[in-house]
Amino acid sequence: MSEDKSKSVSLKELRENFYINRNLEIKNLWQRSIFLATFMVMCFGAYGKIFETLLNYSQCNEKIAILHSAAIFVGIVGLLISILWVMMSKSSKAWQEVYEITLKELELELEIPEKYRMGNVNHSGTDTNIFSCNAGKYSPSKINIAIGHISFFIWGIIIFGHFFCNICHLLCSFSPCEHFQILILFFNILLLLIAIIIPIILICGKWVKSSFLK
């Protein structure tokens, strides 16, 4: 019986381990964000080059339609990265809260004074005024999620903007005998469907959802 007790883990040891895991999850959140940020910067760089090339064309020609299509394709890649960014940030936030909830329960059971428990720190010098120099009542993990939301809407505007510009460009110069215009038109419609269907599958499907978190 004494041997079993010696092998058992105490609540204090559990508390220490949960703090380590929580801090590790916060650290991993920013490392994962840096990984995705690399691809996001590449997408914005590629789009900037395409947009710069578009501005150099003053006459309607086939290259403009191709450049609009390329911008839509880059926009779709950026849109998918934005969705993955939000999902990864939200999952890290979820696991962080799992450890924090468990820590609150452990500290309650260990009868730690309330002012020293997880989440009960009183910081009177904080505010939400972004123009002040005081500490702010903001969550870094929620800001990370907000970055993904902003990026998502930017890429959505880029995709639909170039789609409608390309459609108008093709219709203005449309010729029934021009097979290239018809091909580009169908290709753009296909890209738009991909931009709508794949995000829906990612968001609503169970492909990337955790089987443990309920």
Q: Give pTM, 2 decimals.
A: 0.82
- The predicted-structure confidence for 112-142, as pLDDT tens digits, reads as follows 877 777 776 666 667 777 788 777 778 888 8
Environment class of 74 (CB within 10 Å of its CB; exposed 0-12, middle 13-18, buried 19+)? buried
**pLDDT > 70? residue 154:** yes
Number of C-beta neighbours around residue 119 at 10 A: 9
Question: In the structure, what pLDDT confidence band is assigned to residue 47 with cuts at 50, 70 and 90?
Answer: very high
Task: Residue 151: name the closest of 55, 86, 60 by CA.
Answer: 86
DSSP character for 120? Answer: -
List CB contacts of 87: < 8 A, sequence separation 6 or more. 202, 208
| pLDDT of 76 higher than 90 | yes
Please count the other Cβ atoms lying within 10 Å of the Cβ belonging to residue 90: 15
Alpha carbons 20 and 22: distance in angstroms, whole number: 5
Q: Residue 147 CB: number of other CB atoms within 10 A? A: 18
Please, what is the angle between helix 11-55 and helix 140-172, to 10°? 20
Query: Does position 176 have pLDDT exceeding 70, yes or no?
Result: no
Nearest to 148 by CA among 65, 84, 67: 84
Closest CA relative to residue 62, chosen from 184, 212, 189:
184
Give the helix ranges, DSSP H, for the chain: 2-7, 11-55, 62-109, 140-172, 179-204
Token pair recorded at residue 142: 């929620």
Q: Which two tokens stand for residue 152?
A: 């998502």
CA distances (Å), 199 to each of 23, 77, 148, 154, 192, in order?
A: 31, 11, 14, 15, 11
pLDDT at 2: 45
Asked if 184 and 65 touch (Cβ cutoff 8 Å), the reply is: yes
Tell me the mean pLDDT in the region 87-111: 86
Average pLDDT score over residue span 66-95: 92
- Which residues does residue 135 pair with via DSSP β-bridges, in sequence order? 126
